Each structure stands twice: as C-alpha cells, then as structure tokens.
Amino acid sequence: MEIISQLGVIPFNFDVLASYLKDYKSPRQKIIELEKQGTIIRLKRGMYVVSPKITKKNISTELIANHLYGPSYVSMESALRFYGLIPERVFNTSSMTLKRSRTFKNHFGHFTYIYCPANYYSIGISQIIQEDYAFLIASPEKALCDLIVYTPKLQLRSIKSLRAFLEEDIRLDIDEFYKMNISIFEKCAEVSRKKTEITNIIKLLKNECV
C-alpha cells in the first residue's frame, strides 16, 4: 500500500498507523490484516515497522532498539561490531537504558536492555545520522566501558588480564583501540562501579602513547 510505504523505515505506534487508516470503517481490523499480509511487522505490542519488502530499504536494528524501549542507546558488542572493531557477528542487540532492564524478541532478533545510573548513562553517546533516520549509539570508548562494567563476573583487575580480554576474548582491533579518546574512559572511571578495570584501560592507553 502506497499510504503505508510513506511511513518509511522508522518504527511507529498503533495510533500513528490508525491515523493513516482513518478512512477505513475499522482501522484496527485493517491493521490486523496488514500484519497478516506481511505489509507491516510487529515489533512489540502496539509498535510496528513497514516491511522492507514494501519500502525496498533495509531495516536498522539500531533504530529499532532505540524505539523499542527508551531512553536507550545501543552499546557493548553491538556497538563495537557496528564500528567494525570486533570481527564476530552479533545476534543480540544490546542497549543501555535509564529504565529497568528488559528483553524483547521479535522478527528482527533479540533486544537486551541493561539499566545504568544517569550520571554514567550520559557519557559518550553518539548520534548516527543516516539518509532518512538517526539513532543513538555508544561511542567506541563507551561501548567498551559498558561491555566491561556490565558483563557479570568479568574481572580485569590487571593490565595482563585486560590485554588478554581485548586481544583474545573479543578480538578488538588493537590499532583502533590505541586511537581511542582517553577522556571518555576518565569520565566513566569517575562514576563506574568497576573503576579499577576502567583505570587499567587508561593506563594501557597512556603507556602505549609514551
């Protein structure tokens, strides 16, 4: 449907879709039909996106993640993979949020949201602007901090263990690591619950720069 394709690739809620279908006798029934036909795809209760078969455009999982549950920004392995800093494909889209932790599963995959406090959340968030949409994602530095701070039972209390984690466990692009912005790590270390681990990142970067 041409009227539906006008919604583009940005997720929308039931009320927005119903406003596009106000000329139908029962917009709700029409929405059910559109979903069954595969014209729209349900992301969660009351939230949809137009099928890429209709828009002829790829769907951004990062954009979906921002809309599914917010405020939030994409982070951890999902952000590191987005920047091309780790080689492994990521099947779960991880985000940080100011709300309680949640998980969602839909047509586009698994979406995980991890709570963090406001004073930490606000550090190192970037906005990526594409042709017809934009989304929030952690900077490479913040994504790495989030991964280390919020991975349960992960302890990197020595430079040796940190280096092994970066080089062997996540296979981070080390050349790019040494180009990272130390100031973001310093801000995270001030408020992070894993200050030792983040301080070790700073030490590793500073020793390499000397």
45 and 68 share one domain: no
Whether 184 has a pLDDT exceeding 90, the answer reads yes
Give the domain-ending residue among 55, 77, 99.
55
- Residue 209 pLDDT class (50, 70, 90 cuts): very low
47 and 93 share one domain: no
Give the domain-ending residue among 33, 55, 77.
55
Q: Which residue has the higher pLDDT, 46 or 24?
A: 46
71 and 168 share one domain: yes
Q: What is the value of pTM for the model shown? A: 0.91
Task: Say how many domains are in the chain.
Answer: 2
98 and 169 share one domain: yes
- Residue 210 pLDDT class (50, 70, 90 cuts): very low
Whether 1 has a pLDDT exceeding 80, the answer reads no
94 and 147 share one domain: yes
184 and 124 share one domain: yes
Nearest residue to 141 (alpha-carbon basis) of 93, 81, 182: 182
141 and 84 share one domain: yes
- Look at residue 208 in the predicted model and tell me its pLDDT: 57
Q: Which residue has the higher pLDDT, 138 or 56?
A: 138
Handedness of CA 102, 141, 71, 12 (dihedral sign): negative
175 and 130 share one domain: yes
77 and 166 share one domain: yes
67 and 151 share one domain: yes
Host domain of residue 203? 61-209
pLDDT in tens, 110-137: 999 999 999 999 999 999 999 889 999 9
136 and 204 share one domain: yes
**Can you count the helices (H) and strands (E) in the chain?**
12, 9
Whether 165 has a pLDDT exceeding 80, the answer reads yes
Strand-pair category, 92-97 with 72-74: antiparallel
13 and 75 share one domain: no
